[in-house]
Chains A and B, each alone.
Chain A
């Protein structure tokens, strides 16, 4: 492989690693990327290691303090840092754990011995280091991954979409999920997924996070038609919204209740 290709390294923190696997599953498209970059470190897929790389692609969230140093070292060495997937950009599903005390969670899972394990507040990468590019989604949309990589290689900023999923859903001429009797987070969720869930009749769970200022940018006419407010639908399905807009979380605030009596 030629020496002048940008050197890419993959790293991961707390996550299911499904976004890296989505990259590995891109097949021919991945082989195409390999013509333009050199992958020098990727623990999950290869044994090669390198101290020198230009682009770090990082999956996962920070879920304990001892991981912060490893992330900072990656940041120091990387010219460009890309946060890959919902865990890295927002904290992912495990951010739900922030509603409970660490010791409570440790005891629940490990019993008495739980006190011997380390656990911390779940936060996205940007809580600890500057992040240059965000690729949202649980998991990522491979088409967006390609688009972001193109921007990175050309040295251009990538504009993270700030329209609601409803926009992409309408382009695909889907039946509105609300019309099927389900609540859907599409009106307040950042698009870029090409409405993949609502296109197969599933509700949007909001994995790409809320659009900036959902009170202004929501697809309000859809909510109005079905008699809901922004706050109501976010409150009903709040798996991902805590990180995206903490001040707007409805119900289940930080460390509020214990497991058994938790009700929204």
Chain B
């Protein structure tokens, strides 16, 4: 045995720029880490001084994959700070558009970013000719979930019509009925996704850690709730600072975070581990088919948990659409807003986990302080610890296998790196 030095610069099939660095000397781990080398865009700086009417527009642009999540967290923060009430209808519509983003983001990761690893391919491109059915199915799920955003938000990436207090315009009843039909037609594609993942061999890695997500008493939440930990605490979102300590590390332009332990995990696996009882029955079936038994301590199963959430969000969206249509869509106007000084915290479950936007406004409705806590940043410390664990298990393998294993582990976290550095 001798020295092994791995440096994977700008790892592919992830959002943003990160490097894997690992060094072994005679089987002893000298170094292993995930470097975030993303350029800093300073959202917490550029949002200062902006009007409450612009903050959502700017904050949404932190991320191109989870724009709806940033938008919803931002609107919640602004609404709480300025004392703006939203209607039950607005909440239902926001829950629906969040489902659309969870589905599209999970489909992107499950099919395009992660699946090639299991099939020993460089990408999904060879499948365009070899297995066009699967590629078309992936695009079909993605497009239909994009359409939830297109219909409710005017556009999926950087939704347009979501504003403090509600929506600038609403879809028509017939549009919603057509959407429900199309989503019902998506069931067989999602079932086939479960079947696909049931056939794939997911690597083993066991490392018990802390799992953190939002929870509500009434449903499996992506939109609002209390922050809960598998270590036992529950806090209202506005007290997030008592739970989450963010800190700067030298090898990352994204901060790391901890709560009860040195690191914790957020995202699909954390949500399923903590809240699985609230999943739809169809998602429970998928858990059985996929052998996902909570609490599951294998980070590679995060992708499998995303498949389970894909099933849940599809069924939940069909149900939500039924509820909205049964109640009848009311024409609601944007509320009159009188700016006032205040502070507010918004919290949602983005595809990659707990996301917090915290705003302070002055009496002219301009932001004076902004803090955003990003899912991928919260995961980075846990990812480093898992990489160390995996490296110690793979240390006798050929360098290529080690590199591949570490890359797969990074991808299992589905990192959103430019978002984490923001």
Tell me the A residues contacting B by CB distance below 8 Å: 12-22, 24-25, 27-28, 30-31, 34, 39, 43-49, 63-64, 67, 92-94, 96-97, 100, 104-106, 108-111, 113, 116-117, 119, 138-139, 196-197, 199-202, 205, 237, 239, 259-260, 262-263
With beta carbons under 8 angstroms apart, the residue of A18, A19, A22, A205 that contacts B57 is: A205
Is A260's CB under 8 angstroms from B368's CB? yes
Q: A25-B142, A67-B39 are in contact. Are A259 and B48 (CB under 8 A)?
A: yes
Query: With A20-B64, A117-B40, A200-B168 known to touch, is A97 a contact of B161 (CB < 8 Å)?
Result: no
Contacting pair A109 B64 (CB below 8 A): no
Let me know if A17 and B16 touch, CB within 8 A.
Answer: yes
CA distance A21 to B412 in the complex (A): 19
Are A110 and B160 interface neighbours, CB within 8 A? no
A260 to B168, CA, bound (A): 31
Judged by a CB distance under 8 angstroms, whether B405 is at the interface is no
* B238 within 8 A of partner (CB): no
Which 4 A-B pairs have CB atoms at the shortest separation, nearest pair first?
A18-B64, A46-B123, A201-B168, A200-B154
Distance in Å: Cβ of A88 to nearest Cβ of chain B: 13
The docked-state distance in angstroms from the alpha carbon of A93 to that of B74 is 16
Interchain nearest-CB distance for A228 vs B (Å): 16
A14 and B10 alpha carbons, distance in the complex (Å):
13
Q: Is the CB of B160 within 8 A of A15?
A: no
Asked if A24 and B143 make an inter-chain contact with CB atoms under 8 angstroms apart, the answer reads no
CA distance A94 to B422 in the complex (A): 10
> A239 contacts B160, CB within 8 Å?
no
Given A93-B58, A105-B42, A45:B112 Cβ within 8 A? yes
Instruction: Give CA–CA (A100, B43) in the complex, Å.
Output: 12
Given contacts A17-B16, A25-B142, A97-B41, contact A138 B248 (CB under 8 A): no
Q: Is the CB of B39 within 8 A of A262?
A: no
Q: A16-B67, A27-B139, A202-B163 known; A119 and B62 CB under 8 Å?
A: no
- Asked whether any CB of chain A lies closer than 8 Å to the CB of B176, the reply is no
Report which B residues bind A (CB closer than 8 A): 10, 12-17, 38-46, 48-49, 54, 57-58, 61-65, 67, 104, 108, 112-113, 116, 122-125, 128, 135-136, 139-140, 142-143, 146, 154-158, 160-161, 163, 168-169, 248, 250, 253, 255, 364, 366, 368, 418-419
**Interface of A: prevailing SS:** loop
Instruction: State in angstroms the CA–CA spacing of A151 and B62 once bound together.
Output: 31
> Smallest CB–CB gap between A240 and chain B, Å?
10
A139 and B158 form a contact (CB under 8 A): yes
Whether B122 pairs with A48 at a CB distance below 8 angstroms is yes
- Whole-angstrom CA separation of A201 from B332 in the bound complex: 13
Contact A199 B154 (CB under 8 A): yes
Q: A197 near B154 (CB under 8 angstroms)?
A: yes
Beta-carbon contact of A45 and B15 below 8 Å: no
Q: Are B123 and A18 in contact (CB under 8 A)?
A: no
Determine if A64 and B154 form an interchain contact, defined as CB atoms under 8 angstroms apart: no
**B44, B124, B154: the one within 8 Å of A46 (CB):** B124
Q: A14-B38, A15-B64, A16-B418 are in contact. List 19 more A-B contacts (CB 8 A).
A: A13-B39, A14-B418, A15-B418, A16-B67, A18-B67, A25-B156, A30-B139, A43-B10, A43-B12, A43-B13, A44-B15, A47-B13, A92-B61, A109-B42, A116-B250, A138-B61, A197-B160, A200-B154, A263-B364
Given contacts A47-B122, A113-B248, A201-B169, contact A63 B63 (CB under 8 A): no
Q: Could you list some 5 contacts between A and B, CB below 8 A?
A: A14-B418, A16-B62, A43-B12, A100-B45, A202-B163
B45 touching A14, Cβ below 8 Å: no
Q: Are B61 and A97 in contact (CB under 8 A)?
A: no
Contact A117 B253 (CB under 8 A): yes
Closest to A98 in B: B46
Whether B116 lies near A202 (C-beta < 8 A) is: no
Determine the chain A residues whose CB is within 8 A of the CB of B41 once the complex forms: 14, 63, 93-94, 97
Residue on A nearest B108 in the bound complex, by CB: A24
B61:A93 contact, CB within 8 angstroms: yes
User: For residue B249, which residue of chain A has the nearest CB?
Assistant: A113
Bound complex: CA of A155 vs CA of B15, how far in Å? Answer: 31
Contact check, B42 vs A44: say whether CB atoms are below 8 A apart: no
Of the candidates B13, B46, B169, which one forms a contact with A93 in the assembled complex, judged by CB atoms under 8 Å apart? B46
- Contact residues in B for A200 (Cβ distance below 8 Å): 154, 160-161, 168-169
**B10 near A108: Cβ-Cβ < 8 Å:** no
Q: What's the least CB distance linking B203 to chain A, in Å? A: 18
Residues of A within 8 A of B142 (CB): 24-25, 27
Q: Which residues of A contact B154 (CB under 8 A)?
A: 196-197, 199-200, 202
CB-defined contacts of B54 to chain A, threshold 8 Å: 205, 237, 239
> What CA separation (Å) do A87 and B374 show in the bound complex?
21
- Give chain A residues whose Cβ lies under 8 Å from the Cβ of B168: 200-202
Interface centre among A15, A24, A93 (most CB of B within 10 A): A93
User: Given A24-B108, A28-B139, A200-B168 in contact, is the A39-B125 Cβ separation under 8 Å?
Assistant: yes
Smallest Cβ distance from B139 to chain A, in angstroms? 4
Per the bound structure, the CA–CA distance linking A119 and B296 in Å amounts to 40
Q: Please, which residues of chain B bring their CB within 8 A of the CB of A14?
A: 38-41, 418
Given A17-B16, A47-B13, A262-B49; A110-B248 close (CB under 8 Å): yes
Is the Cβ of B45 less than 8 Å from the Cβ of A25?
no
Q: How far is the CA of A201 from the CA of B135 in the complex (A)?
A: 36
Distance, CA A28 to CA B128, complexed state (A) = 11
Measured in the bound complex, the distance between the Cα atoms of B160 and A27 in whole Å is: 21
Asked if B160 and A46 sit within 8 Å, CB to CB, the answer is no
